[in-house]
Amino acid sequence: MTMTSLIIHAGAGGTMDNLRGTAQENHKALHIVLERGRAALAARMSAMDAAELCVRLLEDNPLFNAGCGAVATATGQFELDASIMDGRDLKAGAVACVRNIRNPVSLARLVMEKTPHVLLVARGAMNFANSQDIPQEPDSYFQNALDKAHAGQKDAGTKHGTVGAVALDCEGNIAAATSTGGTADKMDGRVGDTPLVGAGTWADNRCCGVSCTGIGEHFIRTALAHRTAMIIEKDGVSAQDAAALALTYLQDMIPGGEGGLIALDKQGRIGFAHKNDILMRFGYIEHGGQSVTALSAAEAAGKL
């Protein structure tokens, strides 16, 4: 039986000046998600179920730019993207530009399980959502959460962000899931890396699971989630080394490339990296150990 591991993130970008909520509130929110994930994996829940559960919890928290905490487009719309991937067989599901969906990650999973497709977008995805009776919310649900998140901030808050989770279950299976509320003031119809398998999300039992966060266009151009996996598979390095190497590649190829990523390899070792001058909210439980939460890689390193 494999010792379970779990890593989550709630977005890379911004500084303490435009952090949604206090540092303490962010740490507490991440800890709650990790412990819910730990309990699920301890109860022999699959990696897929655990990754979806953790992302749903993150989507339901207005501190984070996903689900209810989404940011608005240039025309005031809330367009949401999400994806989920099963490392056992590379099955995946994703949605892009959906509106009013409470938990886009669950709709993405339904795309994987109930259709022959991987990615559904906009009207087609909404038609499918309606056929599945998936919970939906009015625009006010997202707007009220956004207003609350921005209350008391020194500026309009982090303009982009994502949430994600990667889990390793007791059977040795890996799953990854990612969800986003997009980039503030983006053009209607803009799609970032989050729903694109290989760019924002990847899972393969042979090597690892990955979830990315940052400026989506940069991760699409570098296919960074898949590249991280290939570094692990081809070079035999740990998840931590692979995350660092992938981030270096991003910044070498795209000067000013911004963002971060989390990874979890088949041995249950966690990895994380992000651009030095921004925050990344994340947390992990490695090999069933203590829960660690951090607002940056430097903070996490200080807790090791």
SS3 at position 275: coil
Cα Dmax for the chain: 51
Q: What span, in angstroms and rounded, lies between the C-alpha atoms of 208 and 229?
A: 6
Q: What φ, ψ does residue 55 adopt, rounded to 5°?
A: -70, -40
Known catalytic residues are: 162
Q: At what angle do helices 239-253 and 224-235 cross, to 10 degrees?
A: 130
Please tell me the distance from the alpha carbon of residue 47 to that of residue 50, in angstroms, as a whole number. Answer: 5
Element (H, E) at 167: strand 163-168
CA 71 to chain centre: 16
